[in-house]
Structure 1
Amino acid sequence: MSKSDTPERAGLESYQLIDKCFEICTRMLPFLRSELKDEDDCKRIVSILYVLTGFNAVELKCQNGIEAFAGEEEVAVKYDTGKDEAENCIEVPVKKGNTLLACLKFYRKKGDVITDEDEAIARGVGSVISAQLEQNSKDYNARLRAKAELKALQAQINPHFLFNALNTIAAMCRTEPLEARRLLIHLSRHFRAIIQTSPDLIEIHKELENVKSYLEIEKARHGDRIRVEWDIQPNVSFLIPPFTIQPIVENAIKHGLAGKKDGVIVISVKSADSCYQICIKDNGCGMEPEVVKNLITNTDDDKRIGISNVNRRLKEIYGEDHGMVIHSEPGKGTEVIIIVPIRERRQADVIKGRYSR
């Protein structure tokens, strides 16, 4: 493994990306209030994007006739004819609702490769600007929670989630700076968990901390519609597969509590004579038996975050008798129970990290 492929290096690069994105969002916000109608504000926006994104040039062309440019002029001039532009230029629409207001262009020199990160940053910036322009014309707090799409992708950094989360946080900076800072800390913790997670097992407390960070970000979207209750036995300590609890909580929020104004999720962790019991319970819409069966046996979901995958991993590590148990009834909510057996350490398990105590 090269130095650039180490978890430590990946973690550093991810934090740098988060810092860059957050700085872009916060520095652009004051100049978006004019809704791209002020030429000086437009010039400041492209200057910020040029300095902070690292492209060779950035250009903004508005429908109202305002144009702004920052960077190496010869790079943009070279592509005025449109020749080879697709290979070295990313064009991003800027909208307010369904109305096109402007077009952003991010240029690389001919021969330079536009990376996935370049694409993510450019299109993320366009999404941030479009979202902010729409927010400027409507009630801020209501739009903040109604439009924030925050999804947990546990095995990789998703630029779409990152920019949506940072957009939510950056927008909060204007009226709720302390809350914005708190959510940024939770976002950082969540990404750190993604990067540092072991492929085998992790401590239950680390899993719970990541779930808490995820829930804090989700509650910024849902507000008072969701209440979380914790019942964690003091001093309980054991190992579980990473991202075991979060997909269950995410499923409860997205499906079980969808549309509910007084949703409650109860997360409990307790020990018994020969096992540890994890329970995630909600007061949502519940499910029919056939839906429950499909949920835990489906093989078409994402390998990292699917409910059925959690069930398969539990059985693989702890045995066929220790999969996920789901109790659900339409109109009466859902309860998911995970039993982690307490067993003596064997040398093979210690080497693989597969033991409970």
Structure 2
Amino acid sequence: MYLILSLLQQMSVYLVLAYMLSKTPIFLPLLNISSQVSHKFSCYVLFSLFCVMGTYFGLSINDAIANTRAIGAVMGGLLGGPIVGFAVGLTGGIHRYSLGGFTDVACAISTTAEGLIGGLLHLYLVKKDKSALLFNPMVVLAVTFVAEVSQMLIIVSVAKPFGHAYTLVSEIAAPMIIANCIGAALFISILHDKKTIYERYSATFSRRALTIAERSVGIWNTGFDATNSEKVARIIYEETNVGAVAITDNEKILAFIGIGDDHHKPNTPISSGSTIQAMEQNRIIYLGGRETPYHCSISNTCKLGSALIIPLRAGKKVVGSIKLYEPKRKLLSNINRSMGEGIAQLLSSQILYGDFQQQQALLTQAEIKLLHAQVNPHFLFNALNTISAVIRRDPDKARELIQHLSHFFRSNLKQNIDTVALKDELAHVNAYLTIEKARFTDRLDVEINIDDGLLEKLLPSFTLQPLVENAIKHGVANRLEGGKVRIYSEQHSLGYKVVVEDNAGNFSPPAADYEGLGMEIVTKRLINYFGDIAELQIDCRKGEFTRMSFLIPNNK
């Protein structure tokens, strides 16, 4: 009983010292499990000192020492892994061996084994993704019990003479097992409490996320580009106090603020395989733990030691990533990980909203510009002159042309919506072509051959008319005779291709004027509605034909 009380008394001094150290930055590396060399070295030094102190605090009994050395060895293995546990146990064992006694070899072996036992449990729990159990006092008590029992068995097996060893173990086994198990459980409890307080304290900084939201809202409304990304990255860097912040699109770095900005340069291609993997798999990747250490893909002397890579999404589509870094001397805290995920969700929503606004603005711009194109004064002037010429010789024909002109402008006024059925688009184009045929008389021949199954398909309004107008203005109008415009459909593996073709072959890339803007808006609206596969394609063979085509996919 006296021995138990003496060991518990010494353990109390031991724990008071541990508690005092927990108030200093020395304990911070112990609050997280990491594979960083600096973290492991800190565990080795700290727990080796505890191991040595446990021996010095021990009681001399029959040329042996009853002690609390096991606490340092087991804790070193639990928090540092098998290599650190072995190293701490070996250091403590060598120190004990240097003090002599008939149990010196046995104690050296057993202390090393205790550190290794703690390290093997660390390895098992980390592989099972249950590292939180390493901070559970009951788990630590159990593994210390196993380690202490193992120590007693080693002493009985190795120490000579056997009779002395057996007598010693009979006397010290129960007191040492009780003292060391309770001491290890209380030690980890101190760490657990420190960890909890630290994370709760850190959680108060989550309010910074609200500040980030307030400061960054609206920045990406004008586009997900390098300029806007640099503004957002700087806000996040200032509010989170992490080592560095990077924002990328799917191909290059858009912005980088913080440690490492001397070699992580904006507008350079992404070189990190982990970043590409995170975006391709649409999942968060943390680099800096035991299984996935961080290695800079650009510089071997990079001061960054951990990174959190979070995909940025516009809806379901991954459009880039945000990356939070910490230097090698500092671990990326759980609160910053959680905050990073929340920030990424916030920014993804902003990107999606910005895209929506851009598409809305694009639609409005397209409607205004294309409507202006349809009410081209030159077309109206030519149409009225044509009707004026026809009315003298064929009043009925003139009346028909006026009806078509009325239908054309009525369609312009009515089609202020995003999409129309292809049959309505063809009716609008037919009204335009009827007037143009009367103007060019026998110089213009029109052929329309669209699959009946496409007539009810929806497409962006005012898609065909600019293409037909371009075919006449830059094709048929330049021929003295035999001008022909064909509007037809072709089956494609992904849907149907709609083609507008003239037989002049006079197309040249339009300048940045009204006509060029018209073609640009048509292709952008097609892509926004159908996707990239619907991009406007232009094929021209000089003097033979110009074909403008786009795809209506089956899956729309």
**Higher percent of residues as helix:** 2
Mark the structure with the bigger radius of gyration.
Answer: 2
